[in-house]
Amino acid sequence: MRTEKFDVTGMTCSSCVAHVEKSVSKLEGVKTVNVNLLTNSMTVNYDDAQLSTTSIEQSVEEAGYQAHIRPMAGDASLSLSPKIDFVQQEQDEMKQRWWISFAFLIPLLYISMGHMVGLPYPHVFHDPQNALLFAFTQFLLVLPIAFVNKKYFQTGFKTLFRAAPNMDSLIAIGSSAAIVYGIYAIYQIGYGLGHADMETVNQFSHDLYFESGATILTLITLGKYLEAKSKNRTSDAITKLMDLAPKTAVVIRDGSEMEIPVEQVVVGDMVVVKPGQRIPVDGVLESGNSSVDESALTGESMPVFKEKGDSVMSASINKLGYFTLRATKVGKDTTLAHIIELVEDASSSKAPISKLADQISAVFVPVVMGIALLATVIWLLLGYPFDFALSIGIAVLVISCPCALGLATPVAIMVGTGKGAEHGILIKSAESLEMAGKIDTIVLDKTGTLTEGKPRVTDVFAISSVSENDLIELAASLEKQSEHPLSEAILQEMENRKLKLKNIEAFLAIPGRGIEAMILGKKYSVGNEKLMMERSIDLNDFADLSNRLADEGKTPLFIAADSHILGIIAVADILKSTSKEAIDQFKNMDLEVVMLTGDHAKTAAAIQGQLGISTVVAEVLPQDKDKEIIKLQAAGKTVAMVGDGINDAPALMRSDLGIAIGAGTDVAIESADVVLMKSDLLDAVTTLRLSKAVMLNIRQNLFWAFFYNVIGIPLAAGLFYGVLGWKLNPMFAAAAMSFSSVTVVLNALRLMRFKPTASLLNNHEILITKTDTIMSEKTLQIKGMSCGHCSARVEKVLNAIDGVEAKVDLESNSAKLILSKDVSDETIKAAVDNIGYEVTEVS
């Protein structure tokens, strides 16, 4: 048995998916077929002794679509190009069809309806003697529109004749009915002019409906183009993953270094990795040491120290050191290739979401055709003229035209996604919106999602004879020369406090322990507890403090002078200001909240306690995150995953709804269904609320679109003609169709009133839920805050002022105040100044 993947173009709805699967499944030797509408892909498991890929492609083509085999995922240089070419080709074709259709539709609407709205109009079209010119001009304008959109007719009628009608069938029937009736009217006009029958001329001059057929094709093509544009984004995730892999590697062969294509590296090769380079293959360090940034794979922000014997992964970045490694996994066996495979498998395993419009049209199309045919025959049997009976049949088809059904979903989606984008939420497809409303479990990655994703100094503890600033100054002076991943946090703290570096001598870096140097003849050490123990430095009470800090998820750095401890500086990746509130709102929505992290259990437990998350899974590898999603889905959960790292990409694709934090990696963003551009978890709450609003709107649109047909079809069929004398002219049938479309659009515009979820005190819109009268709002810029304790102290003193409700944001060094009483700027500044900080601006 063999499994191959194909790119399939031309599919437009779930009926197309079913038709392709049915066509391929009939082939002898095929075991399973899985067609994915979102990614325009097909996976076939078959017996290659009985069947060839060419036969599979031909079977798809016979069904009315195009299929092209995709190279194996392991072929790094080739695997993506066919997919990108064909998907992009389909999008470009839709765009071209839309512009051509639009270019001819405008003059067609002007000629056919310009006089109705009072536009300047050539006199030649007013003269009944020129009615044939009036009609034939419209016919010439509709021809290019019909030609560029010929796929609707080809696919629509082909599937119709195979008893598997889809949305294309509805489009083809509706537009063809209008165009064919228009051609019939031209003949009648010509006949009337030839026999001086001006009554016939006038009648059929007003019974031209070329503009109806053209409008149907143009609007549907616009919707299809927007859909194709969204689908094309799905291939970008794999592209960006592939771009992470270096194209070349430096290996040692025959005693000398040589640069070769990465595909030529074999297991056992000695690979040289220089500072700043990406590691080309998985391997084990043979010599040298360095800090390695694995965030591209693990999503964790802090680089990991590596020395001889440690394993490293492909696509990781060597920060500063020089080392050699022995290749253990190459090509499609590397960690990066495995993640790529997971993303592809997760993408193709997603079941296509059935569109409500397609479900309705599956029954609606044959029923309408039957009614139109039956009505025509009945009126002929009753002795009425052929043109009378034909106009009845055409009126039924025109009023049941798919325009409103076609607009019901895309118009609401366009308004909904536009509203989301207005508030920093990028929703990639209608499927994403639909699924967001069904979520009952939300899974959150820790680093970069709940936390800021970069280490900061959170606490400074010094002995009584040393100030906090002195301790920071000493540590920063040594860390300036260090490659340690936490050195940037110490140096940033020094800059925040406006301190100066000291001159050091005899600097020594101790891998995996810390650093030492001489300052004015005294030896200073900065490092972990192991370094302190090796130097026989008595930690006194700082040992217990270190354990407490570790329990809080922080990394303690000890600072010592000679053999005496001076203090501890704690560094951690701190929580975002809105994380707690977002989780509380998820709980209020009756969602189960789960946190996944690669951190140690102790760090994960600390975050769990701070945020009140009920379920936490710690120490998970990239592959495990994907497995955790599968476990939840197997338990019957509908899962949304929120993450930002490349290692989150498989889980984002596997989940029912992938949500990427905008500050994360490009791959996570491209792999997700929703991107939060402002990196604010509260926007995930907004996404779920927006989804429910949009899906309700779509259901309303579909109901009204169908309701118009339910009311209009009996009228168009002449049901009331014998009793009341009511006969629906095809012109009014088209007007009714247009009215239903206008109703759909107006209903969708109600979504413009949607308001995003917002924290009371953050950068979003402020929602006031209290009945108190708000006298004013103020924003402070505060100088001197450097850690979470600083911001907490400022927030505490501000909230202690009567009539002030404050929220401090450490990242922007600002505070947002809501005042229910008149409080002077001087009072506010004095309160902050008294605790050692400075208010630089009040606005």
Q: Specify the residue for token string 């990781």.
A: 316
The catalytically annotated residue of 207, 445, 573, 656 is 445
* Residue 209 three-state SS: coil
What CA–CA distance (Å, rounded) separates 649 from 3? 23
What CA–CA distance (Å, rounded) separates 643 from 299? 9
DSSP states along 603-652: HHHHHHHHHT-SEEE-S--HHHHHHHHHHHHHTT--EEEEE-SGGGHHHH
Comparing 730 with 313, the larger pLDDT belongs to 313
Angle at CA of residue 99, ends 93 and 103, nearest 5°: 145
Q: What is the mean pLDDT of residues 673-700?
A: 82
Taking the CA atoms of the chain, what radius of gyration do you get in angstroms?
34
- CB neighbours of 804 closer than 8 A, spacing ≥ 6? 798, 817, 818, 819, 821, 823, 828
* Strands annotated E in 414-500: 425-427, 441-445, 456-462
The pLDDT assigned to 230 comes to 43
Chain centroid offset of residue 23 CA: 32
Query: pLDDT tens digits for 116-173?
Result: 667 777 777 777 778 888 888 989 999 999 999 998 888 888 878 877 676 677 678 7
Query: Do residues 182 and 213 lie in contact, with contact meaning Cβ atoms separated by under 8 Å?
Result: yes
Record the tokens describing residue 251, joined without a space. Answer: 């290996």
What CA–CA distance (Å, rounded) separates 19 from 133? 44
Q: What is the mean pLDDT of residues 270-284?
A: 89
- On the question of pLDDT at 482 being above 80, the answer is no
What CA–CA distance (Å, rounded) separates 505 from 520? 8
In this structure, the chain runs to a length of: 843
pLDDT confidence tier of residue 228, bands split at 50, 70 and 90: low
Q: Specify the residue for token string 């190279």.
A: 71
Q: What is the mean pLDDT of residues 601-611?
A: 80
Where would I find the H helices in 247-334? Answer: 295-298
664, 669, 672, 678 alpha-carbon torsion, rounded to 10°:
60
Q: Specify the residue for token string 């409303």.
A: 437
What CA–CA distance (Å, rounded) separates 39 from 123? 52
Query: Do residues 17 and 37 lie in contact, with contact meaning Cβ atoms separated by under 8 Å?
Result: yes
Q: Which helix (H) or strand (E) holds 816?
A: strand 814-819
Q: Is the pTM of this model over 0.75?
A: no
Comparing 364 with 465, the larger pLDDT belongs to 465
Query: Do residues 782 and 808 lie in contact, with contact meaning Cβ atoms separated by under 8 Å?
Result: yes
Annotated catalytic residue 445 = yes
Q: Specify the residue for token string 């802090």.
A: 302
Average pLDDT across the chain, whole number: 78
Listed range (189-198, 270-279, 484-493, 764-773) with the worst mean pLDDT: 764-773
Amino acid at 547: N
- On the question of pLDDT at 2 being above 60, the answer is yes
Query: pLDDT tens digits for 195-219?
Result: 888 888 887 887 777 887 787 778 7
* Nearest of 273, 307, 313, 274 to residue 293 by alpha carbon: 313
Listed range (128-137, 180-189, 581-590, 655-664) with the worst mean pLDDT: 655-664
SS (H, E, C) 122-137: CHHHCCHHHHHHHHHH
- Identify the DSSP state of 448: I
Listed range (231-245, 345-359, 396-410, 798-812) with the worst mean pLDDT: 345-359
Comparing 132 with 402, the larger pLDDT belongs to 132
- 418-436: b (≥16 Cβ within 10 Å) or e: ebbeebbbbbbbbbbbbbb
* Nearest of 684, 668, 295 to residue 455 by alpha carbon: 295
Q: Which helix (H) or strand (E) holds 251?
A: strand 248-253
Q: What is the mean pLDDT of residues 622-643?
A: 87
Query: pLDDT tens digits for 780-807?
Result: 888 888 766 677 778 878 877 877 888 8
What CA–CA distance (Å, rounded) separates 21 from 607? 47
Query: Do residues 490 and 569 lie in contact, with contact meaning Cβ atoms separated by under 8 Å?
Result: yes
- Identify the DSSP state of 185: H
Comparing 73 with 484, the larger pLDDT belongs to 484
Query: pLDDT tens digits for 520-561?
Result: 888 888 888 888 888 888 887 788 888 888 777 787 889 888
Listed range (60-69, 227-236, 584-593) with the worst mean pLDDT: 227-236
Query: Do residues 217 and 108 lie in contact, with contact meaning Cβ atoms separated by under 8 Å?
Result: no
What CA–CA distance (Å, rounded) separates 323 from 315? 15
- CB neighbours of 604 closer than 8 A, spacing ≥ 6? 446, 553, 595, 597, 616, 618, 619
The pLDDT assigned to 354 comes to 36
Query: Do residues 304 and 294 lie in contact, with contact meaning Cβ atoms separated by under 8 Å?
Result: yes
Where would I find the H helices in 356-465? Answer: 356-381, 386-399, 403-422, 430-436
Q: What is the mean pLDDT of residues 3-17?
A: 76
- CB neighbours of 309 closer than 8 A, spacing ≥ 6? 284, 285
Query: pLDDT tens digits for 355-391?
Result: 555 566 557 667 877 888 899 899 999 988 776 787 7
What CA–CA distance (Å, rounded) separates 108 from 114? 9
What CA–CA distance (Å, rounded) separates 156 from 12? 11
Amino acid at 164: A
Q: What is the mean pLDDT of residues 70-91?
A: 53
Comparing 599 with 257, the larger pLDDT belongs to 257
What CA–CA distance (Å, rounded) separates 364 from 372? 12
Comparing 624 with 15, the larger pLDDT belongs to 624
- On the question of pLDDT at 349 being above 50, the answer is no
Strand-pair category, 270-273 with 323-329: antiparallel
DSSP states along 402-424: THHHHHHHHHHHHHHHHHHHHTT
* Nearest of 612, 680, 671 to residue 641 by alpha carbon: 671
What CA–CA distance (Å, rounded) separates 439 from 687? 11
In sequence order, the β-bridge partners of residue 775 are: none
Task: Give me the half-sphere count of Cα atoms (radius 13 Å) on the Cβ side of residue 460.
Answer: 23
The pLDDT assigned to 360 comes to 62
pLDDT confidence tier of residue 407, bands split at 50, 70 and 90: low
pLDDT confidence tier of residue 77, bands split at 50, 70 and 90: very low
The pLDDT assigned to 647 comes to 66
User: Residue 783: what are its φ and ψ, rounded to 5°?
Assistant: -105, 140
In sequence order, the β-bridge partners of residue 512 are: none
